[in-house]
Amino acid sequence: MTAKVLFSQTMSSVYDQNEISSLYRLFLEDYLQVSPHVHLYTPQDELNSIQMEKFNKGLSLLNQSTPIQYLTQKAFFCDLNFKVNSSVLIPRPETEDLVRIIYDIHQKKRAENLKILDLGTGSGCIAIALKSQFKKASVIGVDISQKALDVAKYNAEFHKTPIDFVLEDLGDYRSDLTFDIIVSNPPYVLESEKVLMHPNVLNYEPETALFVPDNDPLKYYKAIVQSINFGTLKTRSLFLEINPKCLDALIDLMKPLGAIEIHKDLSEKKRFIEVNI
Domain ranges of the chain: 3-64, 85-276
Q: Residue 277: CB partners within 8 Å, gap ≥ 6?
A: 228, 235, 236, 237, 238, 257, 258
What's the pLDDT at 48?
80
What would the pLDDT profile of 125-160 be if each residue is shown by its tens digit? Answer: 999 999 999 999 999 999 999 999 999 999 999 999
The predicted pLDDT at position 46 comes to 65
The Cα 174–Cα 172 span in angstroms is 6
Three-point CA angle 246, 227, 155, nearest 5°: 80
pTM to 2 decimal places: 0.94
Helix axes 3-11, 17-26, angle to 10 degrees: 130
Give me the residues paired with residue 43 across strands: 2
Residue range 85-276 forms a domain whose CATH class is alpha beta
Alpha-carbon dihedral sign for residues 114, 115, 117, 123: positive
pLDDT value of position 181: 98
Burial of 248 (0-12, 13-18, 19+ CB in 10 A): exposed
Per-residue pLDDT of the chain (277 residues; tens, 9 = 90+): 777 888 999 999 888 888 898 899 899 999 999 877 666 555 554 678 888 899 999 999 999 999 999 999 999 999 999 999 999 999 999 999 999 999 999 987 777 799 999 999 999 999 999 999 999 999 999 999 999 999 999 999 999 999 999 999 999 999 999 999 999 999 999 999 999 998 999 999 999 999 999 999 999 999 999 999 999 999 999 999 999 999 999 999 999 999 999 999 999 999 999 999 9
State how far the Cα of 77 lies from the Cα of 92, in Å rounded to an integer. Answer: 8
Q: Which of 92, 148, 100 is nearest to 120 (CA)?
A: 148
